Chains A and B, each alone.
Chain A
Amino acid sequence: AQTVTQSQPEMSVQEAETVTLSCTYDTSESDYYLFWYKQPPSRQMILVIRQEAYKQQNATENRFSVNFQKAAKSFSLKISDSQLGDAAMYFCAYRRGYALNFGKGTSLLVTP
């Protein structure tokens, strides 16, 4: 079974600063997808970024980038130039079949 671990229940960052959220996963598969989703207080899950395991290049979406370490089974999310609107729960997810296995989430607080 694939498990996803987010070891940071809460993180805090100041506006305009950079923060990194950690995620590790366990799998015996060689080809898979990893995702970061954002869930603001409105509860709507929003895709932040996606990484295909067969791609060596780390995915980037504007201020969001990942550090994908396949051998270490690590998939961290870096948010640059943090904004107040980035405050939310962030979930790391592993694609199992075509469904998603989620971690427990990291609550990100952004302070002015």
Chain B
Amino acid sequence: EAGVAQSPRYKIIEKRQSVAFWCNPISGHATLYWYQQILGQGPKLLIQFQNNGVVDDSQLPKDRFSAERLKGVDSTLKIQPAKLEDSAVYLCASRRGETQYFGPGTRLLVL
């Protein structure tokens, strides 16, 4: 069974630029999550999808972050415009039963 795929693995941008991350969950997993992990901290939930609907986006900074999951499979997380404090690892996960399976993450550096 293929795991959760994410791309790119690394991204360096300047502040005020835009960036997008892509996630492909494990086949058949209806629930998809995006987490932000700042250096030295545990992951923090940004948004949760069930199929192509949003279940929880209460911690998503909606003035600059957006996410979509068209057709209930792949998902894209976008930041526009980026700030220095957005430098972090962005983790995607999908769920089967009680267990979440994580992708390798995208490390974002905002200069």
Contacts and interface: CB of A to CB of B under 8 A. Distances in A.
Interface stretch (A13-21, A61-69, A73-81, A101-109): A101-109
B7 to A, nearest CB: 14
B98 A103 contact: no
Interface residues of A, number: 23
Interface in B72-111: 89, 91, 93, 95, 98-105, 107
A46 B105 CA distance: 12
Interface range for B: 20 to 34
Among A37, A42, A44, A95, residue most surrounded by chain B Cβ atoms (within 10 Å): A44
B44 A102 contact: yes
Given A98-B48, A98-B55, A99-B33, A91 B103 contact: no
What's the dominant secondary structure at chain B's contact region?
strand
Nearest to B98: A33
B98 A102 contact: no
Nearest to A92: B42
Contacts of B33: 99
B42 A103 contact: yes
A31 to B, nearest CB: 12
Nearest to B100: A100
A102 B43 contact: yes
A47 interface: yes
Interface in B4-47: 31, 33, 40-45
Contacts of B41: 104-105
Contacts of B44: 102
Given A95-B98, A98-B95, A104 B40 contact: yes
Interface of B: 31, 33, 40-45, 48, 55-56, 89, 91, 93, 95, 98-105, 107
